[in-house]
Structure 1
Amino acid sequence: MATLCSAGRTNHAGLMARNAYESFLNEASAHPAPSKASGTVDGNDVAYGIETENLGDDKDVYPRVQYDAWVLINAAFCRAYGWSAESCGCHKETSIEGKPDPRGPVEGYGTRGRFAFTPKQLRADVEERLKHPASWSPGTTTPAPKPPTTEERLTSLEKRVTALEKKG
């Protein structure tokens, strides 16, 4: 789930290194480490912010559905403005204030079921999504849970009725 929480300027990005900002603006194929020496740009004025909850300790796992939403949102911005995936950046690539995120593995992704989140992988996944229609979904998403059987639904209903009768 994603929630649009502002339709104007927000304080999400902080100061961005000018060299990093320009590499994303120009959709460079390689993004330099942020450098204070290059000057700064108010990232809150020039960048969309997608805040994603995580402890940022390299251990807290991003749920796969959360990561997939992140890719979808970035791809939607790219489609709307005609940008490539190289316009997608993360705090740790732009911040001169030491914002280290994103940090942590993504559930159900990679050869061992997880991978450490990297902006390069995010851009690769956004790029893959941009090759397809907006309605496309990759086959690697987590399958929907099995619906309950009739017996399980009846048992659940009986428990709720019994609980209501006790309250009544």
Structure 2
Amino acid sequence: MATAPTAATFAALLRAEGLTVVEEGNWQTHNRNSKGPWGPVNGVMIHHTVTSGTAATVRICRDGRSDLPGPLCHGVIAKNGWVHLVGYGRANHAGLGDPDVLAAVIDESALPADNQASTDGNRHFYGFECENLGDGKDPWPAAQLEAIEKAATAICRHHGWTARSVIGHLEWQPGKVDPRGFTMDSMRSRIATRLGTKAPAAPSLPKPVKPSVSLSKLIAAARSNPKAVGTPVTYSGVRTVEAALVNAGLLAKKYSDGHFGSITVAAYAAWQRSKAGGGYTGTAADGIPGKASLTKLGAKHGFNVTN
């Protein structure tokens, strides 16, 4: 959490980091401060413009659109790596975003998934719009990526922030995809290296947990359902096995209903007779699961077998 420097100091910070800075018109006083506060500032947000051509891009980001008045950022980072300053103060770039993401930026901790849009990002972030069509095909020249790295580093260096204070629009507001064409983890790594600090580790994803199917409970369900004597035995693992039989092409999806009825028995018998299921014949392929055939089905279709 910090107070933004003066506009003149902001431009000087960027130049000190080795950037070519172009000051566009009255950028130092061009802002949306009349519509709300700017600050305390907490981080840097990176965007792509979905535009082509530096002159047109700078004009749009400075003047805005009929539905979104400018400035739309503080600096436009062109494909040649030059930074065009178009505004300073509150700018229409971040919109409403996730308060948990803001908290993580302030704490410089791992970012949570952005699933809310309730917090005013225009108040809390510096914004850089980067000239790119945002279609995943328009290239990001090396000079432009280096300029993004340098601009974010300059601000982090001034405030004493780490690379975790730099985020993409897609990490802030649900539904946004910018910047598209490089990852923010890779950019944060570059910024950390420039700052001379250890790159923040990308959050580790939990290993997927396979479902488990109890052989004894499955057998009980298989033996009771076809006979329909009294109340058939139900077991949640039946759906797992039926899904595997559907994937194997042995059971129509409409019959995957959680009941090990005669149609499921017939499908499982077909699995037992198949080469993949063990190649069983006669009474060994009666459609009642056995340990060997069920283990083979689980290995092929993603579940574990317990007793």
Q: Normalising by structure 1, report the TM-score.
A: 0.66
Q: Is the 8 A contact 1:72 1:126 kept in 2?
A: yes
CA RMSD of aligned residues (A): 1.3
CA distance in 2, matches of 1:124, 1:16: 24
> Aligned to 2:112, which of 24, 28, 32?
32
> Which residue of structure 1 lines up, in the alignment, with residue 184 of structure 2?
119
Matched, 1:76 2:157: no
> Aligned to 1:103, which of 180, 196, 202?
180
1:9-48 alignment, distance < 5 Å: 9-28=90-109, 30-36=110-116, 40-48=118-126
CA distance in 2, matches of 1:40, 1:24: 16
Matched position secondary structure for 1:50: strand
CA distance in 2, matches of 1:91, 1:129: 22
Q: Is the 8 A contact 1:19 1:35 kept in 2?
A: no
The offset of 1:65, in angstroms, is: 0.5
Matched, 1:52 2:117: no
Q: Is the radius of gyration larger for structure 1 or structure 2?
A: 2
Superposed CA offset, 1:129-158 (max 9, x none): 0018xxxxxxxxxxxxxxxxxxxxxxxxxx
> Which residue of structure 1 lines up, in the alignment, with residue 86 of structure 2?
5
The offset of 1:124, in angstroms, is: 0.3
Matched position secondary structure for 2:129: coil
The offset of 1:14, in angstroms, is: 0.9
Matched position secondary structure for 2:119: strand
Matched position secondary structure for 1:21: helix
CA distance in 2, matches of 1:121, 1:84: 14
Aligned length: 116
> Aligned to 1:86, which of 137, 155, 164?
164
CA distance in 2, matches of 1:19, 1:74: 21
Matched, 1:65 2:146: no
Letter in 1 for 2:177: P
CA distance in 1, matches of 2:131, 2:105: 23
> Which residue of structure 1 lines up, in the alignment, with residue 76 of structure 2?
none
The offset of 1:99, in angstroms, is: 1.7
Gaps of 5+ in 2: 1-81, 198-307
> Which residue of structure 2 lines up, in the alignment, with residue 165 of structure 1?
none
Matched position secondary structure for 1:92: helix
The offset of 1:15, in angstroms, is: 0.9
The offset of 1:21, in angstroms, is: 1.3
* Structure number with higher strand proportion: 2
RCO greater where, 1 or 2, for CA within 8 Å and sep 6 or more? Answer: 1
Matched position secondary structure for 1:83: coil
State which drifts further: 69-78 or 52-61.
52-61
CA distance in 1, matches of 2:149, 2:105: 17
CA distance in 2, matches of 1:90, 1:22: 15
CA distance in 1, matches of 2:180, 2:152: 18
Q: Normalising by structure 2, report the TM-score.
A: 0.37
Letter in 2 for 1:32: P
CA distance in 2, matches of 1:40, 1:20: 11
The percent identity for this pair of structures is 41
The offset of 1:103, in angstroms, is: 0.7
